[in-house]
């Protein structure tokens, strides 16, 4: 029951519009004074669907992984403005959310690789150490195998910053942990490992723990050219 005081129907008209969305009940002057109602939260014209939001979030996480970008990349004002230009309704995830999802993607990848390696009869490996532009050293280990059509399939097993001294024992310990503990690759599966000719790497991989060791032919030829032409140092008869 709605009661109008003093015979006025103004509030009744406002009530019919505000509560029952009957636009014809109000005067034009009233309509101009009434603020438009905010759209409901589930209105697809003002909010993104959960499916679309997940797609965009995944695209951001994939971009950060593929291009090795900082987790805060999509929180910077310029990037936020760019995303708003594409779709003003989208709110990019925080760096904490991105870090969590990158971690989830990493564990999912490891599970997939472990599942593949269990079914492969023979696996070859390559390992390398290099220095970044920031003067930090990294070590990587990659597995190589054939699929049913004899196409070579490379799978990155590990990439870590090398914080310890580049001693053969430290390199060997890292490689053995990846093969024995992390991926549980059986000794009979290990078809061999290819590395450069650095003395520590040779010493770490020449004991048959990974299968026979092979020298990287590209690195060998690089040394032949450098030492043969004495490009950066005087001739060394021992080389």
Determine the pLDDT at residue 9. 59
| Three-class secondary structure of residue 154 per DSSP | strand
Determine the pLDDT at residue 222. 86
| Three-class secondary structure of residue 142 per DSSP | strand
Alpha helices, DSSP H, located in 21-121:
28-33, 50-67, 77-86, 95-118
Average pLDDT for 11-25: 71
Burial of 141 (0-12, 13-18, 19+ CB in 10 A): buried
How far is the C-alpha of 205 from the C-alpha of 31, rounded, in Å?
A: 82
Residue 1 banded pLDDT, cuts 50, 70, 90: very low
Lowest mean pLDDT among 125-129, 162-166, 217-221: 162-166
Determine the pLDDT at residue 43. 47
pLDDT tens for residues 82-131?
A: 999 999 999 999 999 999 999 999 999 999 999 999 999 999 999 999 98
Question: How many C-beta atoms surround the C-beta of residue 80 within 10 A?
Answer: 14
DSSP H or E stretch at residue 218: helix 217-229
Residue 133 banded pLDDT, cuts 50, 70, 90: confident
Which two three-digit tokens encode residue 117?
A: 């390696």
How far is the C-alpha of 180 from the C-alpha of 156, rounded, in Å?
A: 16
* Predicted model pTM: 0.69
Determine the pLDDT at residue 165. 84
Which two three-digit tokens encode residue 23?
A: 């636009």
Determine the pLDDT at residue 143. 97
Determine the pLDDT at residue 36. 52
């Amino acid at each position: 029951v709605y009661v109008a005081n003093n015979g006025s129907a103004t509030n009744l008209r406002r009530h019919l519009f505000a509560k029952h969305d009957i636009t014809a009940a109000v005067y034009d002057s009233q309509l101009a004074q009434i603020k438009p109602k905010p759209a409901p939260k589930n209105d697809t014209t003002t909010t993104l669907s959960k499916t679309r939001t997940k797609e965009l979030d995944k695209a951001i996480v994939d971009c950060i992984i593929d291009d090795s970008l900082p987790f805060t990349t999509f929180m910077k004002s310029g990037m936020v403005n760019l995303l708003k230009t594409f779709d003003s309704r989208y709110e990019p995830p925080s760096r904490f959310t991105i870090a969590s999802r990158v971690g989830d993607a990493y564990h999912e990848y490891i599970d997939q690789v472990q599942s593949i390696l269990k079914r492969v009869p023979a696996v070859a490996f390559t390992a390398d150490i290099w220095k970044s532009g920031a003067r930090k050293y990294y070590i990587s280990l990659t597995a190589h195998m054939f699929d049913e059509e004899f196409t070579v399939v490379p799978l990155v097993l590990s990439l870590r910053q090398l914080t310890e001294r580049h001693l053969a024992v430290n390199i060997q310990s890292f490689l053995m942990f990846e093969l024995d503990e992390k991926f549980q690759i059986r000794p009979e599966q290990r078809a061999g490992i290819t590395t450069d000719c650095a003395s520590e790497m040779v010493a770490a991989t020449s004991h048959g723990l990974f299968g026979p060791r092979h020298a990287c032919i590209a690195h060998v030829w690089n040394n032949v050219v450098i030492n043969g032409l004495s490009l950066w140092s005087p001739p060394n008869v021992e080389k």
